[in-house]
Structure 1
Amino acid sequence: MPHKLPHLLFDFGGVIINIDYNRTLEAMRQLGSGIEFTQAAQAKLFDELETGHISADQFRAGLRAHYGLTATDAQLDEAWNAMLLDVPAGRLALIAELRVQGYQTALLSNTNQLHITEINRRLKEQYGLQNGIADCLDRVFYSQHVGLRKPGEEIFRHALREMNWEAADTLFIEDSPQHIETARRLGLHTLFLTPPLTLQDALPAALRAFPA
């Protein structure tokens, strides 16, 4: 009997696109802000942006009100986007090859409209992807659009329902331990990408080891 291919559920930041949160912290400090957040925790303002409960304009207004900033919209956007680094071509090529082999793929990302717009602009400019990262996978699930965030269980359930996937048949690739914990609790298989591991380093071996 042929080996059943697992479904692949990818995180975005730290898995497909390289991220450096410190660059945004430093850029905000240059604007006069004592803003603080980490990969594991962030203030309510950021959660509200990432779940679509506030607009980009409300987010900027919140930054000014909470952190005493007087920066322009363009300056705030530039600082907020400073954490976004590159999307290596090899990662996109690996995902493309896996899709050719018959793997179903989806993205599950905590993100916001400012980052989505900027990343997709770069992907269109660099790789000719007219719809950004959505051109590289079968589906994308952004927290901004779903109205839910990881590590909450419901956003995982939402993605599985929409894809008609079973948790036991799905491999979740992620770089945040709290999100890995939720996925495991729900019965997904997981690949925890910790530096210096990259997608190209770790995913092929994880697929070979996936239970038949």
Structure 2
Amino acid sequence: MTGKKPNLLFDFGGVIINIDYQLTLEAMRTLSQADSTIEFNQQNQAELFDLLETGRLTPAEFRAGLRRHYALHEASDEALDAAWNAMLLDVPAERLAFIAELRAQGHHTALLSNTNQIHIQEINRRLQAQYGLRHGIADCLDRVFYSQEVGLRKPGPEIFAHALREMNWKAAETLFIEDSFQHIETAQRLGLHTLFLAPPLTLTDALPAAIRAFSSPA
């Protein structure tokens, strides 16, 4: 398309880190006195989770909201955090090595993630313990944009515009890698190139071909 190396804008969950939303749903249901099912999945979520992901709730306020809305009154802070973090699986070493290789090849990289303080702290703790990454995933990319720090979240166009502006990137020169189609749709409307990582596709399997297609002259 362009003959240039694309800027690479990565989603986090389902792209770099493996996740399983069902594990958190099951863990929360186990803690609930009313067998409640929390309203959180890849496509939709209740306002409580939106507020957490945009930094408008503290972790303490989020836990209080969980207890109030989902009959989790007897659950300790530690139990709630463990259940909330249950969806977080592993970050395969080959994905981190692949991103490092892409950066060495001259690609500019950034992360654009809908996430929250509890998850960020847990993921980065694991990355430090497993891979020695002092600042977690931020050590692997040029820049990270977390929804809870920016105050915006996908699929809203504003967070994409913020990341592009901060990176001084043009949409037409950027490839967005994501596993949620509603976020892909926003990126496409804004003029970004996209790679939809629908299962069973993985980052290391699918991104090389997407980069070749982007970089091939029309």
Q: TM-score range by the shorter chain?
A: over 0.9
Match of 1:50 among 50, 53, 57: 53
Q: C-alpha displacement at 1:36, in angstroms?
A: 2.8
Query: Alpha-carbon deviation of 1:34?
Result: 2.5
Higher relative contact order (CA 8 A, sep 6+): 2
Note the 1:1-212 alignment, pairs <5 A. Answer: 3-32=3-32, 33-69=36-72, 70-211=74-215, 212=217
TM-score under structure 2 length normalisation: 0.95
CA distance in 1, matches of 2:23, 2:68: 22
Unaligned runs of 5+ in 2: none
Query: Is the CA contact 2:111–2:145 (under 8 Å) kept in the aligned structure 1?
Result: yes
Q: How many residues are paired up? A: 211
TM-score normalised to structure 1 length: 0.98
The one-letter code sitting in structure 2 at the alignment partner of 1:148 is L
Q: Give the 3-state SS of the residue equivalent to 2:214 in structure 1.
A: coil
122-131 or 35-44, which moves further after superposition? 35-44
Residue 37 of structure 1: CA displacement?
1.8
Q: Which runs of 4+ in 1 moved over 3 A?
A: none
Q: CA RMSD in A?
A: 1.0
Q: Aligned equivalents of 1:191 and 1:29: distance in 2?
A: 34
Deviation of the 1:68 alpha carbon: 1.5
Q: Which runs of 5+ in 1 are unaligned?
A: none
**Cα contact 2:27–2:86 (8 A) shared by 1:** yes
CA contact (8 A) 2:112 2:163 kept: yes
Task: Provide the identity percentage.
Answer: 76
